[in-house]
Chain A
Amino acid sequence: MNWLDNNILTLVTFAPAVGGLLLLFFPRRDRDIRVFALVISLLTFVLSLHLPAHFNRGLAGFQFDKDVSWISTPNIHYHMGMDGVSLWLVVLTTFLTPLCVLISWNSIHDRVKEFFILLLVLETSLIGVFVSLDLFLFYFFWEATLIPMALLIGVYGHGRRVYAAVKFFLYTMIASVFMLAAILWLYAKTGSFDFVVVQNAIHSGGIPEFSGRVPLMLFLGFFIAFAVKVPLFPFHTWLPDAHVEAPTAGSVLLAGVLLKMGTYGMLRFNLGLFPVQSRVNASWIVVLALIGIVYGALVAMVQPNMKKLIAYSSISHLGFVVLGIFSFTQAGLNGAMFIMLAHGISTGGLFMLAGIIYERRHTYEISEFGGLATPMPKYATFFLFIVLASVGLPLLNGFVGEFLALSGAFQAKMWWGVVGATGVIWSACYLLWMYQRVFFGTVKHSENNSLPDLQLRERVALWPTAIMALAMGVAPLLWLNTIDPAVHNVLVPFTQFASKMVGQ
């Protein structure tokens, strides 16, 4: 068991990529390829369940640590580890990938092999981002997510896919150059890429050059890369394009996991490495987050395209996460973490549902539907359930996170909470209104009369999200009891900082 504990992160991270490599040598029999991809992604999920099962909830530091020297000049280590923050993000990734395979079963007919290879490689790089504790390794996985995702959008997407893929690639690539510059500066001064070493050097004042404008520049270097990924207003314009053009599985992973790389990065690196600068800059960052919440919601409301609506709702929801993080309160950060997971489940579900209707009608236009509850009752039920989860109905997963994040915001500054809370109302408006237009009333378009209801495969893909949405709403403590100590650990410098301020 000890061997497994030491190497579990490596196994979970690279299992999908190894599967992808094996797929490379598969004959082009699409069915076998799909089954194999499903098996590999399920296997990864099962492996990843080892993590929460053996995670020591009492410890605040990094667990399942694996640290071996990789390259000596520059001093790069293969250092992986996880705490309560990354734990559930990894499990979220491994949970969503099999669903992505299921949902792409019939919608991808062309270049099937390459599609599943890309999907599995993407899974590896996503997990890698969350478990890397070496800044170089982190940067590598961060960049590595770009290529498969851009190809998924650009090759398998809809109409303006090339434009969307290139925009997505350039936005993220250019933003991460700033992060690379900051990482290299830190390496030049500390001689290490190790997160813990760098963190200690900064916090103990071990870097003499870390003064004046330098810390702010470093903070911004990381922050820009993450803000584009989240995306925070005004860096969000790539997101609607990417989502609308992406294939369903791409959208699910993009909204479900990729965006969380940004908020995870803020939590881990901005707060973890630069607590002082985080606090100093929190006011304008929160303002951007609040604009994102309200603006995203308002724009979502007027979207005629179902997928674009969900995309803008992501901007709004991720605004809550940033608000929670930069409230620097235990409740706010717990809430932010919880929304990341809940949003991954519910928005993943929404994109799958949108994909299912697209397979039948080849459109996302809301005006093309109406009265769908009559021909597709099961579909309508699932849709309503996920919409309610996303809206934040108590006892479903959306509620817990938003409640915690907002209570954190209220503790930090009253008006942050007030403005943020309107977002909850907005989300109810646009989602329920969309639901009404799509499902209620009489069938307006005759071709919708004969739409088949959910097949077994689609129900198998949707049930897990519905179950998780309920479970996370009913028993949030199962998740929060690992998140809480990790978040507490992140907040230690802030409480010291605050007491120092009070002392003065």
Chain B
Amino acid sequence: MMTTAAIQTMQALPQSVDYIRILPEIVLSIFGMIIMLLDPVMDQRRSQRTLGGIALLGAIAGLAATLYQAQPRFWGLGFFEMVKLDAFSVFFHFVVTAVTILVILSSYEYMEVQRIRAGEYYALILFGSVGMALMSSAMELVLIFIALEISSISTYILAGFRRQSAISSESSVKYFLLGSFATAFFLYGVALMFGATGSTSIVRISAALGEYAGTGHGPLLAYLGVALMFVGLGFKVAAAPFHVWTPDVYEGAPSPVVGFMSTAPKAAVFAVLLRIIFEAHAPGGPWLIWVAAALSMTIGNVAALVQDNVKRLLAYSSIAHAGYLLIAFASLPANGIPAAMFYTASYAAMNVGAFAVIGHFAGAGERFVTLEDYAGLGKRSPVLAAILTIFLLSLIGIPITGGFFAKFYVFSAALQGSHPLVGLVIIGVLNSAVAAYYYLRIIVVMYMREPREEEAPVAPISTGLGFALGLSLAATIFLGVYPNPVLKYAALSVGLLH
């Protein structure tokens, strides 16, 4: 007969398969640490390429680890119900590591042009992606909090990486202060949720709140907890009314970093939101989300209309896109979950690409970032202008780009079921029409304005950037021409979460 003590020791040791369940996180952390160790002992001038190369290798290894763990035989809860590997987390691991690869590829050239010492830059990107990957598989609110902090702290530092520039430091400090404030809200929400259900494990919370599912009622504390957690997470995805930091931070941060933090952490936080809203049966979600979605779309698009700085313009556009995405969260899970997942993937592809182009155009010190500077780019650099045009068309949502199907799935998910969100969809469609105007403004300026006389010539595209652009372009078009495989994979999560 086995003693209870023996059983307890067995339970205290995680199974070996558990390590496969967090394999990408492990791989990314190891590579991040290697970079940190090598950085001080390497010659400064040579370290740029080497460290970047190691980071790229690490991110590719992370992607490979994701593909390895994608085999269903590894799926399940691990580490005492702390993490869960399933189609859902594999999907987001894939998005996060893929974005990391693209960002590292587009950073090479950027770092050299800006004369930024690489050093911990690449390590921070890898550490950040560890946090983001962990967020999508974490099943424990406290672990989610830790993962959120790992990802946030990395991005706080990355935002201020253009150290010579005042606005970059401003961006970093602002992001840090407001971000910490928002995480505090999230933590408070976790505490209240613990008070309501007696647990911080999503499995237990789901069981406790499951009784109320469908009744429209729930413990008051749970309502408050969800609301506070939503404040914290809403901040991270730049959803209105918690969006105020976005334009300043995006304007100051280095462009590849903006490409990174507007996509990968957002995808991860949306994953957390999906877990909390659908898997934990959190009450009161739809209303909060309805309001936040409508506000984000409207504020983002209207404010973007009057921007002259392209980075600020895309910052407001990312607020608007968070709004479109939130529509899916207010929809029925069967359609809403895959729609939201598809949206994060396609938004990641087009936005990373767009910011890679912007980073290249910006030149040393990010001097050329206003709309004026883009005059005549169609002539000065036809290839890059054409690529940026495709990304912008995708952001508008023109067919055969990923952006079209992303919007299509979200809107059609919202219209399913017995209580279609007609109002929200109308707001969304009107907003898409408004949005077309400011994206087109960039295209018009690029092609139809004559370049200014003193304009510096655009540097040729480096290999790394070329790869980054090629891959994100391919992904954007692929999602627009053949969205089925991705949508089908995302649809696997419906049963798992619900």
- Taking beta carbons and an 8 Å cutoff, which residues of A are in contact with B? 71-74, 111, 114, 136, 139-140, 143-144, 147, 151, 154-155, 161-162, 165-166, 169-170, 173-174, 177, 181, 184, 188
* Chain B, 440-486, CB within 8 A of any chain A CB: 440, 444, 447-449, 482-484
B393, B398, B433, B448 — which one has the most chain A CB atoms within 10 A of its CB? B448
The complex places the Cα of A139 from the Cα of B447 at a distance, in Å, of 25
With A72-B484, A166-B440, A188-B412 given, can you name 15 additional A-B contacts, CB distance below 8 Å? A71-B483, A71-B484, A73-B487, A74-B408, A114-B378, A139-B399, A147-B393, A154-B444, A154-B448, A155-B378, A162-B444, A173-B433, A177-B429, A184-B412, A188-B415
CB distance from B42 to the nearest CB of A (A): 41
Query: Which residues of B sit under 8 angstroms from A136, Cβ to Cβ?
Result: 399
Whether the Cβ atoms of B444 and A165 lie closer than 8 Å is: yes
Query: Which residues of A sit under 8 angstroms from B415, Cβ to Cβ?
Result: 188
Closest to A174 in B: B433
Query: Which residues of B sit under 8 angstroms from A139, Cβ to Cβ?
Result: 399
A/B interface sample: 28 pairs, CB < 8 A: A71-B482, A71-B483, A71-B484, A73-B484, A74-B408, A111-B379, A114-B378, A136-B399, A140-B399, A140-B400, A143-B399, A147-B393, A154-B444, A154-B447, A154-B448, A155-B378, A161-B448, A162-B444, A162-B449, A165-B444, A166-B444, A170-B437, A174-B433, A177-B429, A177-B433, A184-B412, A188-B412, A188-B415
User: Which 9 residue pairs are nearest across A and B when measured between Cβ atoms?
Assistant: A154-B448, A140-B399, A162-B448, A155-B447, A72-B484, A71-B484, A177-B433, A155-B448, A73-B487
Query: Which residues of B sit under 8 angstroms from A166, Cβ to Cβ?
Result: 440, 444
Interface flags for B261-304 (1: CB within 8 Å of A; 0: not) read 00000000000000000000000000000000000000000000
Whether the Cβ atoms of A181 and B429 lie closer than 8 Å is: yes
Would you call B382 an interface residue if the criterion is a C-beta within 8 Å of the partner chain's C-beta atoms? yes
* Chain B, 396-434, CB within 8 A of any chain A CB: 398-400, 408, 411-412, 415, 429, 433
Instruction: Give how many B residues have a beta carbon under 8 Å from the other chain's beta carbons.
Output: 25
CB distance from B15 to the nearest CB of A (A): 37
The complex places the Cα of A174 from the Cα of B448 at a distance, in Å, of 21
A173 touching B436 in the complex, CB below 8 Å, given contacts A114-B382, A143-B398, A188-B412: yes
The complex places the Cα of A377 from the Cα of B382 at a distance, in Å, of 43
Whether the Cβ atoms of B482 and A165 lie closer than 8 Å is: no
The complex places the Cα of A165 from the Cα of B441 at a distance, in Å, of 12
The complex places the Cα of A144 from the Cα of B448 at a distance, in Å, of 19
The complex places the Cα of A98 from the Cα of B470 at a distance, in Å, of 33
The complex places the Cα of A71 from the Cα of B488 at a distance, in Å, of 11
The complex places the Cα of A147 from the Cα of B393 at a distance, in Å, of 10
Interface flags for B344-369 (1: CB within 8 Å of A; 0: not) read 00000000000000000000000000
Closest to B416 in A: A188
The complex places the Cα of A126 from the Cα of B398 at a distance, in Å, of 17
CB within 8 A of A169: which of B400, B411, B440, B488? B440
CB distance from B258 to the nearest CB of A (A): 27
Query: Which residues of B sit under 8 angstroms from A173, Cβ to Cβ?
Result: 433, 436
Closest to A155 in B: B447
CB distance from A62 to the nearest CB of B (A): 23
Query: Which residues of A sit under 8 angstroms from B436, Cβ to Cβ?
Result: 173
CB distance from B375 to the nearest CB of A (A): 11
Query: Which residues of A sit under 8 angstroms from B408, Cβ to Cβ?
Result: 74
The complex places the Cα of A173 from the Cα of B393 at a distance, in Å, of 13
Closest to A146 in B: B398
Query: Which residues of A sit under 8 angstroms from B483, Cβ to Cβ?
Result: 71
